[in-house]
Amino acid sequence: MQATLLSLLGLALFGALHGQEEVTVQPDFQQEKFTGKWYSIGLASNSRWFKEKKQVLKMCTTVVAPAADGNLNVTSTYPKFDRCEKRNSLFLKTDQPGRFSYTSPRWGSQHDIRVVETNYNEYALLYTKKFKGTDTFIMVTLYGRTTELNPELQEKFTQFSLAQGLPEDTILLLPKTDKCMTDAA
């Protein structure tokens, strides 16, 4: 009886894991339309960094610009204490349009970044899987071309984050701020 129960549990777990679908990218992704200024509207993550910092996170700007060989220069400007910080990242294109890789020079972590959905002129939903050592973390980001997005898009972000297994307490709509909003790259 116990062996049968364990077999059934094993099959159920295998089915659940096997049933998890690969996160897809935006069909017919058009990189040139994706470039420009974005505002971070929402973040969701199961990383320790996010859990420790989420109480102080605020909306920030991100500028996406074309780089050599089809890569993207990504510059985020965000408030930190009494100043504006900038973080520059080079997203390397992959064979799949809308999917990029990034290696953090500071932490050595590997990032698999996917533009899941965008209409280019209003919002973009990104999924990032981060690998550091034996740890794997997920981050979902909601960007807007303006600091305001309609409730339906915010709900789409929340539902997508939940579908990735992120608990509700790890999903954050970022508070607006005037600080660093005009200091973008």
Q: How many CB atoms lie within 10 A of CB 135?
A: 10
Annotated active-site residue 180? The verdict is no
From the list 137, 134, 135, the residue with the least C-alpha distance to 113 is: 137
DSSP 8-state assignment for residue 33:
H
CA 178/CA 171 separation, integer angstroms: 22
CA 154/CA 26 separation, integer angstroms: 18
From the list 100, 110, 39, the residue with the least C-alpha distance to 71 is: 100
Q: Which residues contact 141 (CB under 8 A, 6 or more apart)?
A: 40, 42, 43, 125, 126, 128
Burial class (CB in 10 A: 0-12, 13-18, 19+), 171: buried
Q: Which of 41, 44, 59, 60 is catalytic?
A: 60
DSSP 8-state assignment for residue 164:
T
Query: Mind telling me the catalytic residues?
Result: 60
